[in-house]
Amino acid sequence: MALPVFLLLCFLLSIVVIFILIRASRRRLLRLPPGNLGLPFVGETLQLISAYKTENPEPFIDERVSRFGPLFTTHVFGEPTVFSADPEVNRFILQNEGKLFDCSYPGSISNLLGKHSLLLMKGSLHKRMHSLTMSFGNSSIIKDHLLVDIDRLIRLNLDSWSDRVLLMEEAKTITFNLTVKQLMSYDPCEWTERLRKEYVLVIEGFFTLPSRLFSPTYSRAITARTKVAEALNLVVRRRRKEAVAISEGGGEKQNDMLAALLADDDGFSDEQIVDFLLALLVAGYETTSTIMTLAVKFLTETPLALAQLKEEHEGIRAKKSNNTEALEWSDYKSMPFTQCVINETLRVANIIGGIFRRAITNVPVKGYTIPKGWQVFASFRAVHLNLDHYKDARSFNPWRWQNKPVPTISGNVFMPFGGGPRLCPGYEIARVILSVFLHRIVTRYSWVPAEEDKLVFFPTTRTQKRYPIKVRRLNCDQAM
Q: Do 77 and 358 contact (CB within 8 A), yes or no? A: no
Interatomic CA distance for residues 301 and 284, integer angstroms: 26
Position 118 contacts ligand HEM (CB under 6 A): yes
Task: Tell me whether residue 48 or residue 433 sits nearer to ligand HEM (CB atom).
Answer: 433
User: Quick one: DSSP state of residue 479?
Assistant: G
**Residue 344: CB minimum distance to ligand HEM, A:** 13
**Closest residue by Cα to residue 74 from 423, 382, 460, 287:** 382
Q: Is 343 helix (H, G, I), strand (E, B) or coil?
A: helix
Task: Tell me whether residue 32 or residue 258 sits nearer to ligand HEM (CB atom).
Answer: 258
Q: Do 316 and 335 contact (CB within 8 A), yes or no? A: yes
Q: Which residues in the 410-449 window bind ligand HEM by CB under 6 A?
A: 416-418, 422, 424-426, 429-430
Q: Which region, left, alpha or beta, applies to residue 267 given φ > 0 means left and ψ of -120 to 50 means alpha?
A: left
**Closest residue by Cα to residue 65 from 357, 375, 387, 363:** 387
Task: Tell me whether residue 365 or residue 424 sits nearer to ligand HEM (CB atom).
Answer: 424
Position 280 contacts ligand HEM (CB under 6 A): yes
Position 119 contacts ligand HEM (CB under 6 A): yes
103 is in an annotated binding site: no
Q: Which residues in the 285-314 window bind ligand HEM by CB under 6 A?
A: 287-288, 291
Count interface residues toward ligand HEM (CB under 6 A). 25
Q: Do 479 and 322 contact (CB within 8 A), yes or no? A: yes
Position 103 contacts ligand HEM (CB under 6 A): yes
**Residues of 408-441 as b/e, b for ≥16 C-beta within 10 angstroms?**
eeeebbbbbbbbbbbebbbebbbbbbbbbbbbbb
Q: Which of 352, 370, 436, 455 binds ligand HEM (CB under 6 A)?
A: 352
- Closest CB to ligand HEM belongs to which residue? 426
Q: Which of 150, 306, 349, 355 binds ligand HEM (CB under 6 A)?
A: 355
Interatomic CA distance for residues 12 and 199, integer angstroms: 47
Q: Which of 81, 173, 350, 379 binds ligand HEM (CB under 6 A)?
A: 350
List phi, psi (to 5°) of 26: -60, -45
Task: Tell me whether residue 205 or residue 426 sits nearer to ligand HEM (CB atom).
Answer: 426
Binding segment (CB under 6 A) for ligand HEM, from list 21-29, 326-334, 350-358, 389-397: 350-358
Residue numbers of the site for ligand HEM (CB under 6 A)? 103, 118-119, 130, 133, 179, 280, 283-284, 287-288, 291, 350-352, 355, 416-418, 422, 424-426, 429-430
List residues forming the annotated binding site for heme.
424
